[in-house]
Chain A
Amino acid sequence: MNTSSPYLLELKGMSKAFPGVLATDNVDLQIKPGEVHALLGENGAGKSTLVKMIYGILKPDAGSILFNGIPVEVNTPAHARELGVAMVFQHFSLFDSLSVVDNISLGMDHDNDMHELAQQITELSHRYGLPLDPQRHVYTLSVGERQRIEIIRCLLQKPKLLVMDEPTSVLTPQEVEKLFITLKRLSEEGMAILYISHKLNEIKALCSGATILRLGRKVDSVKVEDESAQSLAAMMMGKELKNIAHPKQAELGEVRLLVNGLDLPAKDKTGIALQGINLEVRSGEVVGISGVAGNGQDELLAALNGEQRSAQASSIEIEGQAAGRMGPNERRLIGLASVPEKRLGHGAVPDMNLAENSFLTAFKRLGLIKNSLIDSIKTSLFADKIIQQFSVKTPSSDVPAVSLSGGNLQKFIIGRELLQDPDMLIVAQPTWGVDAGAAQTIRLELRELAAKGAAVLVISQDLDELLEISDRIGAICGGKLSRFYPTSDITIEQVGMLMAGVCIEEGVLNVA
């Protein structure tokens, strides 16, 4: 081994062009053993392209990769793993119909004893506070749980360099804390971590060095301790973040969405049953529902937007109309829009283009049908309007939804719903995987919608986000909703208790 290089991994002049764009342009990067290094940048800045080259998925057009000072050519992910690189993807590489242990076994380069592996998974997952049942099938797991598989899979390989693409976006604060403890321990054990995140406070808390990319070029490499969150954001975006002015004065209007003791049995063995849901969202307010992944968020969204009809029409009232038996289109027509958590396959049809995707939810409300045919001119004008107003980065409305990056697609989907002027909007995970700038835009838009008199319900696992934008906040746990509290009167710890199903009145106040 050549030990003359102080760096575990060194990238020199990495460039990669795709038809029409230069995704990364002459980028350098250095990581020392045991260092937690941040890779910062907006959507389309070239972060994913860069890490894909490190992991052998993409072949660089120019530049060299040095591992322990030795130039290497990483042609396949298997080769990268051999070198000691493991990666947690933003889009999970998981197989829905296989079990957790099968999935993890597939990520290893050699044959495994399945029983032994299952034991290792259970042990490792408990040690790092990422509980996982090795025999569960992936399609029954929530996004948060799926991510745990990816993380465990990497840790099992005992890598020298761990690449993490926005790992905390679906975790609870408690889980994030535990993960950070784990990551810090790993780094003390000598593992280097390349950490991609849009959350600047996380980078401040965790990383020692940072490389900032903008539009495919390296802006700078800095020591995190010398920088503030603001200065990092400024380098990343080339402009200062605009803060949300939290409107406390907002006049609350009439009740737009009312849920009365809604019960909904679980769809299958692994689903969550909703029990006695009571909820009201008034005109002009943003209500936040927090919760750990897989506690009934998906079921609640489906019950509210009409994908899952309830037994009694009266259990859900929209604008005073009993809507429990209405389907999604009827509910849309009377003003309820929704954005599901899963962008591809739920919020948008992956292989359809953006214009077609915008037609799918807007055709009734915006009248995009002429003589029983799709009014393609009106539809593409609408799609163009979304792209323009929400600065979606795409060559045209003609490209399939699947070709957009996660954050860009989210901007598009949110834009599509907002431009239909809904009276009520239900959003799940509005900014998951969206960069800081775009996330801020989306949050501002949600507040603005409420200010215009709509009722907004946000279901999210990002507590900071909920505390920032909601007027009232509650939590869902095991299919039951907690009480709701004004955001100004509640602390992060208290919300954490709600998420764990503890009643604040009985818990905190008695202790205090």
Chain B
Amino acid sequence: MEILIPALLTIITAATPLLFAALGELVTEKSGVLNLGIEGMMVMGAIIGFVTVHYTGSATLAILASLMAGALMSAIFAVLVLQFHASQVPTGLALTIFGIGLSALLGQSMIGIAYEGLPIISIPLLSSIPVVGELLFKHDILVFLSILMVFAVMWFLYRSRAGLILRAVGDSHDAAHAMGYSVIKIRFLAILFGGAMAGVGGAYLSLAYSPLWVEQMTAGRGWIALALVVFATWRPGRVLLGAYLFGGITILQLHAQALGIGIPSQVMSMLPYLATVVVLVIISSDQARIKLNSPASLGKAFHPSR
């Protein structure tokens, strides 16, 4: 029990940034836009959050700044893709490269500085329940927020009219346009939401997961988030599952390595990726489900004249 609880707690911290980024990308993709710039938006969120907390000392301001940073990055993407009809794939890739470079430049003076981490919020009474209280009710604000966002996104997509319109735009932008919905505006907002969420996911890395700044500290998590969305067949509940599965195996293999099991460490490091892919591929093997949930216009440019 003494080893288990800290291990489980680290799983949660490993999953949270993925969850933010993947949820944001899910909403973006549901509107029919493929943004491959998650990694770049996350890493920008991480550095801006860290810089803000370093100079102001306010975690709240830092999270808000990361959110803005991610949204701003995605706005560049949105303008290029929606207004100038740039192809989505290379534009997204460029955004990632741009984000990694810019964050390294901004973060030069931040290397080697430490931060004490986001304050832990204990929910009164509930958090004093043994084991469960420790696991479920004693976290920083972003962990709570990430879980809340899963349900918020679910509600938005499947219960609200705005979510229905967003799914419609992702399914057939021509039909949505013919009905008088503003495809460009809806996609712009979806992209901004995706960027903001990726920014917050990045902030979690530099403010809570390992509260310091290292160049390229996202270490490919943006790509994992992207894969999670696809393998979760664009469903928020499965994104939650996938993110925790990935986080879980990441931590488990670290502990296994520490125990000195005779498996090459490279193979161990591969495990979380492999397991996530395998599990999600099995889940998503139902073709009809995929047809139902995948946005049909994903990645296609929209020309209102046609």
Residues of A within 8 A of B (CB): 56-57, 76-78, 81, 89, 92-98, 102, 105-107, 111-112, 137, 139, 268-269, 402-403
Query: Does B168 touch A at the CB level, under 8 Å?
Result: yes
Residues A96 and B296 in contact in the complex (CB < 8 Å), given A77-B178, A78-B180: yes
CB-based contact A77/B164 at 8 Å: no
CB-based contact A98/B161 at 8 Å: no
CB-based contact A77/B179 at 8 Å: yes
CB-based contact B164/A106 at 8 Å: yes
Query: Does B306 touch A at the CB level, under 8 Å?
Result: yes
8 contacts between A and B (CB under 8 A): A81-B180, A93-B174, A95-B172, A96-B291, A97-B295, A97-B296, A98-B167, A102-B167
Query: Does B4 touch A at the CB level, under 8 Å?
Result: no
In whole Å, how far is B152's beta carbon from the nearest beta carbon of chain A? 18
Complex Cα distance, B163 from A106, in Å, reads 11
Q: Contacts of A269 on B, CB cut-off 8 Å?
A: 288
In chain B, what residue has the closest Cβ to A102? B164
CB-based contact B180/A56 at 8 Å: yes
Residues A93 and B291 in contact in the complex (CB < 8 Å), given A98-B164, A98-B167, A106-B164: no
In chain A, what residue has the closest Cβ to B180? A77
CB-based contact A98/B178 at 8 Å: no
Known: A96-B171, A106-B164. 14 other contacts (CB 8 A): A93-B172, A93-B179, A95-B168, A95-B172, A95-B175, A97-B293, A97-B296, A98-B164, A98-B168, A106-B168, A106-B176, A106-B181, A107-B179, A269-B288
Complex Cα distance, B168 from A81, in Å, reads 19
Q: Considering the complex, which residues of chain B in the window 259-298 have a beta carbon less than 8 Å from any beta carbon of chain A?
A: 288, 291-296
Residues of B within 8 A of A (CB): 161, 164-165, 167-168, 171-172, 174-176, 178-181, 288, 291-296, 306
Give the A-B contact count at a CB cut-off of 8 A.
Answer: 61
Complex Cα distance, B168 from A57, in Å, reads 18
In whole Å, how far is A114's beta carbon from the nearest beta carbon of chain B? 9
Q: Contacts of A89 on B, CB cut-off 8 Å?
A: 178
In chain B, what residue has the closest Cβ to A79? B180
CB-based contact A94/B291 at 8 Å: no
Q: Contacts of B172 on A, CB cut-off 8 Å?
A: 93-96
Residues A105 and B164 in contact in the complex (CB < 8 Å), given A97-B291, A137-B292, A402-B306: yes
In chain A, what residue has the closest Cβ to B178? A93
Complex Cα distance, B167 from A105, in Å, reads 13
In chain B, what residue has the closest Cβ to A139? B291
Which one of A94, A105, A137, A403 contacts B175 once the chains associate, using CB atoms below 8 Å?
A94
Q: Contacts of B164 on A, CB cut-off 8 Å?
A: 98, 102, 105-106
In whole Å, how far is A147's beta carbon from the nearest beta carbon of chain B? 14
Complex Cα distance, B175 from A137, in Å, reads 16
Q: Contacts of B306 on A, CB cut-off 8 Å?
A: 402-403
In chain A, what residue has the closest Cβ to B300? A351
Residues A105 and B296 in contact in the complex (CB < 8 Å), given A93-B175, A93-B179, A96-B171: no
In chain A, what residue has the closest Cβ to B293? A97
Q: Contacts of A139 on B, CB cut-off 8 Å?
A: 291-292
Q: Contacts of B178 on A, CB cut-off 8 Å?
A: 57, 77, 89, 93
Q: Contacts of B288 on A, CB cut-off 8 Å?
A: 268-269
Q: Contacts of A77 on B, CB cut-off 8 Å?
A: 178-180
Residues A97 and B179 in contact in the complex (CB < 8 Å), given A102-B164, A106-B164, A402-B306: no
In chain A, what residue has the closest Cβ to B165? A106
